[in-house]
Each structure stands twice: as structure tokens, then as C-alpha cells.
Amino acid sequence: MSAATRSSNDPLIHHWMPFTANRQFHEQPRMITRAEGVYYYNTRGEKLLDGSSGLYCIPLGHGRREIREAVAKQMEELDYAPPFQYGVPTAFRLATEVAQMLPEGINRVFFGGSGSEAADTALKMALAYHRARGEAQRVRLIGRERGYHGVNLGGMSVGGMMPNRKAFSTGLPGVSHLRHTHIKENYFQMGEGEHGADLADDLERFVNLHGPDTIAACIVEPIAGSTGILVPPKGYLKRLREICTKHGILLIFDEVITGFGRTGEAFASQTFGVTPDIITMAKALTNGSIPMAAVAVKDEIQQAIFEAAPENGIELFHGYTYSAHPAACAAGLATLKIYREEGIFDRVKSLTPAFLEQVGSFKDVEGVVDTRGHGLLGAVELAPKGKPGERGFKILCKAFERGLVLRAAGDSMVLAPPFAATPDQISEMLDILRKLIQES
Ligand code: PMP
């Protein structure tokens, strides 16, 4: 019987799952009922290692008491207040703490509820900034092939994943895409590749084609995550920065995955030594416990927008009902405290070399066509068997039976271990993956 004609008593059909093969899931559900530390538990009570930190969002592991208690306390005191024209103290505290972690100069923080909201907010802020400075003609947005900036119309448009775009019209007009940086010359190189910094010159080509004063912003993930951990070549981000500066284009780094320690510094901007104008973040901001995202901008961006607004008038006609939600702010403050007090980003630095070495060692496994990674983000790409992505998905399903939750980006198997994992737990994740690849 097809899913469409099932009786409404079927417990699975009413929940339309996101980015999921729903019909396949109905036949082979992968239910998770509980989690603790770096483990999930299935309906039979069996343990599964969390190889992807949830969706890159729960680096401290599951069930941190301090976060839970901070949220509960906040909910008891103040569960909600309208974020438009009213403020809650925790939001101001969290913004200040985030600003202190950001690269110098990026220090005004706007809250939203998801990475998708953050991406669209960042793009709108860039447009508003140029308009405020009398450059309303700067409306072109530059994204990148194989980029992912969420699913809202702006983020989808600058994103570069065909299946995410093609069912939903053409996206916004006036968008150009840089080429992606996953080039053969860098295959099997862990860390930044030696080749391909000049791919950033695509931006210069768009300037030559459209005119320098027509481009508002260029948005990239420092490391493209959702399309399989594409690490930038050496010098690439610096070159993008130079071209943006030369032509007055705002550079946006989408750090929704890389933000809060994934590469060993608070932000990948710091790891790569390149400071953008705007940074988006989400996920690890609250250790995945309560949805929250943020957009941080240089103060001069905020200043320009403020100055253009009527005195005592609203400066930016933008915001969400759940911007700066008190429970999320409390979760954020508790999370950042743990990062600080437990030296979590230094722990990432100490776990990284062995992790990357182990990912790199998949080079010798038959059918592996590339290995790559940076910080605690690693990918093993396989030669497809059947349709593209089929092999990766089969491994993901098998892994669930063998005690591992991971990501498959097409036929690239992605691991993003929690920072709380021990070296042995990380090795175990990689051992399970190795066997599954050998059997696939
Ligand atoms: N940007 C990047 C770089 C992401 O990785 C993601 C999610 N994986 C998003 C934006 C969208 O975040 P969300 O799913 O919270 O909307």
C-alpha cells in the first residue's frame, strides 16, 4: 500500500520528516528515544555513538545538567517576553559574551532561531547597509556552488545544492555563484589544500561582469559542511577578503557549523586568520538544546543602518517572535560557560591530530576516492555504487544497526565527533565506519 492511502491510525505517516526519505523511513524506522553523553539509545535500549554531534550542534554531548538547569530556572522566572520593543537581561548578557569571543571588530549580535534565519538575516542586513549608505543599487548576492546556507529563500538562492533548489523555482534573481573548491589536486590532503586559492578570483570576474558597485555581499562557509566537509585551499579565504575589501563588498562567513570550537578556535575566522564583515552562527551556541542562532556584524555596519533611520525610529524592520528567546539565551549562557571553564576548544585542538590522521588513513581502503578534514570535521568519500548517494545512504542505515549515528553527504561519509568524546570513542566511530565501508 502506498503511504498516501495508509489509514490515519498509522503512527508514522502524519509527521512529515525534514530532509528524510519518508517512505523509506516508514519501512525501516530509525527511532532514537534517549541520549546521554556521546550516546543515543534506540527503542531496544541499545547504545549508538553520536558520530555527528547531532547535526553538528551538540559538541558537549547530551544531557548536560548545567544547561538543563539554567533553562529550567529561566523558564520558571520568565518563559517569554516580546523581543520587539522589550528586552530581557539574559539576551544582553549573551550578546556581550558572544561579542567577546568573536574576531576583533565584529561585536553587534542579532538573535534568531535557526541557521536558515541567520543566513537570510545576514543577507538582508548587507542589503540594508548599502541602502543606508546611499548605495541602493548594490543588490547582487554572491554564493558558492556546493554551499549550504539553510532552506529559506535567501539562503537557498545563494546556496549551491541542486536538489535543495530545483523543486522551488529559480530562487532570487541577481545571484551568482563562485565555483566550489573541491578540486582533484587536493584529494587526500587533510587540512587546507595546496591548490586552488585562485578560485577566489571568480569574485573578481563577477565584478568585471556586473560592475563593482552592484554587488552587496559574498557569503561562504569557511568550511563547506553539508556538502561533505570541503576545506578551503590555503590562501583562498584571504584572497576573497582582499577582493571584497577592494570593491566594498561585504564578506559573510556562515559559521553555523564551524562556530564555537569545531576547528579549535571559537570561530573558523580565527583559525584561518581571515576576518569577514558578518558572521552567522547557531547550533553549538546552545549545545543544540534550545533552537538559537545569531548574526554578528562589525559595529560600523550597525552604525550605518542606525544613522539612516529616523531618530528614535526602528532601525531594522526585521526580527522573529523567537529572537532572543529567554530559554535559548539561558541555554547559550550556560553553554558558553562550559566552553570557557572546561577549556573545551583546547580539548578540540588536542583531539584533532589523531582524528585527522585516522580519517586520512582511509586512503588505503578500497573504493575510497578522497579523505579530507579540518579540526573535528572529517569526510571519507566513496566511489558511488548504483545511483549517486545510494551507497552513502545504505552505510548510514547499516551504521544505525551497528551502533553509530553519522552523516552521509551523497557518498561522502561525514564524522563530526562531539568535543566531549574520548580518543577511544572517536577511534571506535572510525572502526565501525571502516568495516561498513569494506562491506559496502
Ligand atoms: N548554514 C550552514 C552552514 C549550515 O550548516 C546549516 C545547517 N546545517 C544552516 C545554515 C541552516 O541551519 P538550520 O538548519 O538551523 O536552519
Residue-wise pLDDT for 95-106, tens only, equals 999 999 999 999
Distance 31 CA to ligand 1 centre (A): 23
Q: Are residues 401 and 254 in the same domain?
A: no
Using DSSP's 3-state secondary structure scheme, residue 353 falls into: helix
Tell me how far apart the alpha carbons of residues 90 and 108 are, in angstroms, rounded to a whole number.
Answer: 15
Mean pLDDT of the chain: 97
Q: Is the pLDDT of residue 432 over 80?
A: yes
Q: What is the mean pLDDT of residues 312-339?
A: 98
Q: Which pLDDT band, with edges at 50, 70 and 90, does 1 fall under? A: very low
Domain boundary among 291, 322, 341: 341
Q: Are residues 103 and 235 in the same domain?
A: yes
Q: Which residues line ligand 1 (CB under 6 A)?
A: 55, 114-116, 119, 148-150, 221, 225-226, 254, 256-257, 282
Domain boundary among 288, 307, 341: 341
Q: Which pLDDT band, with edges at 50, 70 and 90, does 2 fall under? A: low
Q: Are residues 274 and 327 in the same domain?
A: yes
Over the stretch 134-178, which tens digit does the pLDDT of each residue have?
999 999 999 999 999 999 999 999 999 999 999 998 899 999 999
Q: Which pLDDT band, with edges at 50, 70 and 90, does 6 fall under? A: low
Q: Are residues 306 and 375 in the same domain?
A: no
Please give the pLDDT value at position 94: 98
Over the stretch 365-402, which tens digit does the pLDDT of each residue have?
999 999 999 999 999 999 999 999 999 999 999 999 99
* The ligand 1 atom nearest the CA atom of 293: 15
Q: How far is CA 29 from CA 26, 51, 252, 254, 397, in A?
A: 6, 19, 38, 32, 10
The domain tally of the chain equals: 2
- Domain assignment present for residue 95? The answer is yes
Q: In terms of C-beta density within 10 A (0-12 exposed, 13-18 middle, 19 or more buried), how is residue 440 classed?
A: middle
Over the stretch 106-131, which tens digit does the pLDDT of each residue have?
999 999 999 999 999 999 999 999 99
Q: Picking from 51-60, 164-173, 185-194, which range would have the lowest pLDDT averaged per residue? A: 164-173
* The ligand 1 atom nearest the CA atom of 155: 10
Q: Are residues 194 and 239 in the same domain?
A: yes
Please give the pLDDT value at position 9: 83
Q: Are residues 297 and 336 in the same domain?
A: yes
CATH number for the domain that contains residue 421: 3.90.1150.10
Please give the pLDDT value at position 11: 87
The boundaries of the domain holding residue 38 are 31-51+343-439
Which has more pLDDT, 309 or 9?
309
Q: Which pLDDT band, with edges at 50, 70 and 90, does 261 fall under? A: very high
Residue 61, C-beta contacts closer than 8 angstroms, at least 6 positions apart: 36, 37, 38, 50, 418, 420, 421
Q: Is the pLDDT of residue 82 over 60?
A: yes
Please give the pLDDT value at position 314: 98
Q: What is the mean pLDDT of residues 64-72?
A: 98
Phi, psi of 419 (to 5 degrees): -65, -20
* The ligand 1 atom nearest the CA atom of 115: 12
Residue 106, C-beta contacts closer than 8 angstroms, at least 6 positions apart: 99, 275, 276, 277, 278, 279, 296, 297, 298
The total of other beta-carbon atoms located within 10 Å of residue 308's CB is: 14
Q: How far apart are the first and last CA of the chain?
A: 30
Q: What is the mean pLDDT of residues 202-224?
A: 98
Whether 398 and 360 have beta carbons less than 8 Å apart is answered as no
Pocket test for ligand 1, best of 151, 257, 269 (most atoms within 8 A of CB): 257
Pocket test for ligand 1, best of 111, 226, 279, 407 (most atoms within 8 A of CB): 226
Please give the pLDDT value at position 435: 98
Radius of gyration for the alpha carbons in the chain, expressed in angstroms and rounded: 22
Q: Which pLDDT band, with edges at 50, 70 and 90, does 4 fall under? A: low
Q: Are residues 375 and 422 in the same domain?
A: yes
pTM: 0.97
Q: At what angle do helices 236-247 and 202-210 cross, to 10 degrees?
A: 20
Using DSSP's 3-state secondary structure scheme, residue 430 falls into: helix
Domain boundary among 309, 341, 373: 341
Over the stretch 288-306, which tens digit does the pLDDT of each residue have?
999 999 999 999 999 999 9
- Domain assignment present for residue 278? The answer is yes
Enumerate long-range contacts of 311-320, CB under 8 Å, 24 or more apart. Answer: 316/125, 316/128, 318/121, 318/124, 318/125, 318/128, 319/83, 319/84, 320/83, 320/112, 320/113, 320/117
Q: Are residues 311 and 349 in the same domain?
A: no
Q: Is the pLDDT of residue 79 over 80?
A: yes
What letter would DSSP give residue 292? -
Please give the pLDDT value at position 169: 86
